[in-house]
Amino acid sequence: MGKRIISALVVVAAMVGAVGLLQTNSANATVVVADKVEICHRDNNVKKPYGPKKIEVSTSAIFTQGHNGHNGPVATSEAVAQALKDDHDDWGDIIPPFNYKIGNSTFSYPGKNWTTAGQAIWNKGCQYVVDPEGTAAYSLKCEEISLSEPTGVKPEGASYQYYIDGNPVGLGSQSVTAGGHVITLKVNGTLVDTKEVAVEKCERPQGKSHYKTYCEAIKLKSPWYVKPNNAQYQYYIDGSPASLGMNEVSKGWHVVVLKVNGKVVDFDWVYVKECKEEPKPADVSVTLVCDPVTNKFTFTIRNDGEASAEVMFNDETFTLDGGKEAVRTLDGGGSLTLKVDGDVYVTEGGEKYENKVFVSCQGQGSTGTPVTDGQGAVTGVVSLPNTGSAAGQIASLIALIASVGTAVGGYVLRNRAASTL
């Protein structure tokens, strides 16, 4: 902005006309005289009431081009501008004070709308001044706070920063101790949101591996136990994820690892022998069908391996060769203990066939595809603790159904034996 400096004698201010100009005669003083000045010139756009940016005009243009006559209040927001427009009123220009010269005389212009609000808009390039806003977005897990991008951040394009207990943190999961914590959010350096949160303590993951070794194979079974109850678990053999069932491995030492919720809770070194001429190990599975006419449960026990397996079905013990299957029945109300090679049989769902009571059924289907509605709907296939008599089991079932409707012991009645063990 072009300027020139002049010297004068004593400064005497006098109002000149109705425009509020001050004439200055000065001595022993230095006065800065402006040739040009940057102003916020009003526009008709409520979103940008002073245009996209400041404009620079000559000081004489303030008077010759009418800027001094652009009166009205400051449009401090879109809502204020719209209200003025609706009332057919104008908002005024924003002009800073300046000194200018006419002839040998120097005058001072006091400015227009040079208020606190006007100066804030002028300093922001003639754009609205938006107070910083924003709301913290987060979720809580045990001993963890997960931070997401805040919502409602203003002004547009503003920078933000999260803090936990006064310490700056980034987006994503943050490990914290159990107890109370304070989440704060700053937008453009201004505190806009504070949240006090309580974080729960994590239950330490626990679990015990359940497996059996065969020649050149390790059979993984559902863990003996897993805590917390709803935890996710994964087996690993020699560092690679492994599935339940038979896993072929080479002769020698191997490491079986169990992780619960991503943390190692159990590991074992196991030695696997060479098969040589030995058959592949037994792989026994059991399916179950309930016949509502005879009220009998039919168990199909199949060995998909090559080696034979010793099966105990209650008091009966028999050998089941590889590739063969055996069928056994159980009357409704009877209990069953089923073991394979000395181990209690456990289904894919973790149900243990040990003193399991099978009461009665209506409709039919297998445990793999249970019937839950329609003509073959099951209304009474459940498990109850063994009381020693079928009559006692049926009486208990009737009492439970009468008290809880379609759910017994927390299980919806369906065509399978829901484990309560």
Residue 27: pLDDT over 70: no
Radius of gyration of the chain (CA): 42
Whether residues 138 and 190 fall in one domain: yes
Whether residues 255 and 228 fall in one domain: yes
Among the ranges 317-321, 350-354, 364-368, which has the highest mean pLDDT value? 317-321
Mean pLDDT of the chain: 79
- For residue 97, cis peptide bond before it (omega within 30 degrees of 0): no
CATH number of the domain enclosing 231: 2.60.40
- 279 occurs within a structural domain: no
Q: How many CB atoms lie within 10 A of CB 63?
A: 15
- 1 or 63: which leads in pLDDT: 63
Pairing of strands 284-291, 316-320: unpaired
Confidence band for 171, pLDDT divided at 50, 70 and 90: very high
Confidence band for 407, pLDDT divided at 50, 70 and 90: very low
Tell me if 40 sits within 8 A of 24, measured CB to CB: no
Cβ-Cβ contacts under 8 Å for 226 (sequence gap 6 or more): 206, 207, 233, 260
- 278 occurs within a structural domain: no
Where helices occur in 44-180 by DSSP H, the ranges are 61-64, 78-86, 116-123
pLDDT digits (tens, 9 = 90+) for 242-294: 999 999 999 999 999 999 989 999 999 999 998 876 677 888 999 888 887 78
Closest C-alpha among 225, 221, 206, 26 to residue 108:
26
Tell me if 33 sits within 8 A of 104, measured CB to CB: no
Cβ-Cβ contacts under 8 Å for 88 (sequence gap 6 or more): none
Residue 416: pLDDT over 50: no
Closest C-alpha among 330, 343, 341, 342 to residue 383:
330
Q: How far apart are CA 118 and CA 115, in angstroms?
A: 5
Confidence band for 204, pLDDT divided at 50, 70 and 90: confident
Whether residues 35 and 95 fall in one domain: yes
Tokens found for residue 53 = 């940016």
Whether residues 155 and 114 fall in one domain: no
- 367 or 12: which leads in pLDDT: 367
pLDDT of residue 352: 84
Whether residues 298 and 332 fall in one domain: yes
Among the ranges 77-86, 248-257, 356-365, 389-398, which has the highest mean pLDDT value? 248-257
Work out the percent of the chain whose per-residue pLDDT is above 70: 77
Overall average pLDDT of the 168-178 stretch: 95
Whether residues 268 and 367 fall in one domain: no
Identity (one letter) of the amino acid at 25?
A: N
Where among 173, 199, 225 does a domain terminate? 199
Q: b/e for 128-156, b at 16 or more Cβ within 10 A?
A: beeebbbebbbeeeeeebebeebeebeee
Whether residues 231 and 171 fall in one domain: no
pLDDT of residue 277: 67
One DSSP character per residue, 309-351 reads: EEEEETTEEEEE-TT-EEEEEEETTEEE-EEETTEEPB-TT--
Pairing of strands 190-199, 233-237: unpaired
Among the ranges 273-287, 349-363, 390-404, which has the highest mean pLDDT value? 273-287
pLDDT digits (tens, 9 = 90+) for 80-126: 999 998 998 999 999 999 998 888 888 889 999 999 989 989 998 99
Tokens found for residue 222 = 């559902």
- 174 occurs within a structural domain: yes
Strand partners, 210: 221
Tokens found for residue 302 = 């199949």
Residue 225: pLDDT over 50: yes
Where among 199, 225, 247 does a domain terminate? 199
Tell me if 373 sits within 8 A of 365, measured CB to CB: no
Cβ-Cβ contacts under 8 Å for 399 (sequence gap 6 or more): none
pLDDT of residue 361: 63
One DSSP character per residue, 175-211 reads: E--SEEEEEEEEETTEEEEEEEEEEPPPPPPEEEEEE
What residue numbers bound the domain in which 226 lies?
A: 206-272
The total number of structural domains that make up the chain: 4
Q: How far apart are CA 152 and CA 155, in angstroms?
A: 9
Tokens found for residue 269 = 């070194």
Whether residues 40 and 95 fall in one domain: yes
Whether residues 362 and 308 fall in one domain: yes
Q: How many CB atoms lie within 10 A of CB 108?
A: 19
Where among 89, 123, 157 does a domain terminate? 123
Closest C-alpha among 115, 100, 114 to residue 16:
100
